[in-house]
Amino acid sequence: MTGKKIYYKSWYMKKNNVSDAILQELEADPHVQEMKHYIQHGKVTTYEHCRSVARLSGRINERFSLHANPKTLMTGAMLHDFYLYDWHAADDGRHRLHGFTHAGKACRNAKKYFDIDEDVSQVIYCHMWPLNPERVPTSREAWIVCIADKCISLYETLFKRK
């Protein structure tokens, strides 16, 4: 563990040395930091959103003793929305289908900037199920992130508006 201070201020944030170490390494990456420039829901940045999804994924895994692989779970969760653009920005219409296309984009970016394996790739690629109905999660890590993402998105949309 580095000396970096972490605040556990939400119900889904709880200390876990293994998960925290994996997350801290990812969070320090400049490409991951770039997610701080984009808004996900209300006033929440994509970086904060991914971090919350990772924390909740870790909590679900522990609480229900699901024995997910922590590296796959944390990496997949932190990079699940790693698409690196502002989907609210007016453009030529490319972002209009954001809900359907961003998981694929996030997956390509994750492969480009990180040495991710197929298991992590699956977590990212399937996180928008059932909006992408053909991409049914096939691993426990992918299911956890898919569920955590829905919970955090709802929470942010309802309670973290501008």
Question: By the criterion CB under 5 A, which residues form the site for Fe ion?
Answer: 81, 149
Q: How far is the CB of 3 from Fe ion (least distance, A)?
A: 30
SS3 97: coil
Q: How far is the CB of 149 from Fe ion (least distance, A)?
A: 4
Pairwise CA distance, residues 124 & 79, whole Å: 7
The residue among 134, 24, 120 whose CA lies nearest residue 69 is: 120
Complex with Fe ion: residue 68 or 87, whichever CB lies closer: 87
Q: Which ranges of 16-45 does DSSP label H, i.e. alpha helix?
A: 17-27, 30-33
Q: How far is the CB of 124 from Fe ion (least distance, A)?
A: 9
Complex with Fe ion: residue 81 or 141, whichever CB lies closer: 81
Q: How far is the CB of 2 from Fe ion (least distance, A)?
A: 26
For residue 11, the Cα-to-chain-centroid distance in whole angstroms is 17
Pairwise CA distance, residues 82 & 154, whole Å: 19
Complex with Fe ion: residue 57 or 61, whichever CB lies closer: 57
Complex with Fe ion: residue 20 or 81, whichever CB lies closer: 81
Beta strands in 10-125 (DSSP E): 39-41, 44-45
